Amino acid sequence: MPISSEALKQDLDRLTTQQLQQVAEFIAFLKFRDKRRRLALDPAQLAALATEFAEDDRALAEVGMSDYAAMLYQEDQQ
């Protein structure tokens, strides 16, 4: 069913303040949903990023493991 912007404007003019708030929230949702769709990442880009940062991730994990082992040791001592 085609609808004109003029018909929508007339409908909006008849709404209560609470109804206008609901319409505004719905419009905000539509904008958010549209923006989210446009920000979808390409799987190839994600794979390249994962490869690029894999070594850094491994190094950080190793550093974290020594801290974790020390915390476990402290727990065992209590």
Residue ranges per structural domain of the chain: 1-40, 41-78
23 burial (CB, 10 Å; 0-12 / 13-18 / 19+) is middle
pLDDT of res. 1:
67
pLDDT of res. 41:
73
Q: How far apart are CA 64 and CA 78, in angstroms?
A: 22
Torsion sign (Cα): 14, 19, 20, 26: negative
Joined tokens for residue 1: 């069913």
Q: Tens digit of pLDDT per residue, the chain (78 long)? A: 688 999 999 999 999 999 999 999 999 999 998 887 766 678 888 888 889 999 888 888 887 777 788 888 888 888
Please answer whether residues 23 and 15 qualify as being in contact, where contact means their C-beta atoms are separated by less than 8 angstroms.
Answer: yes
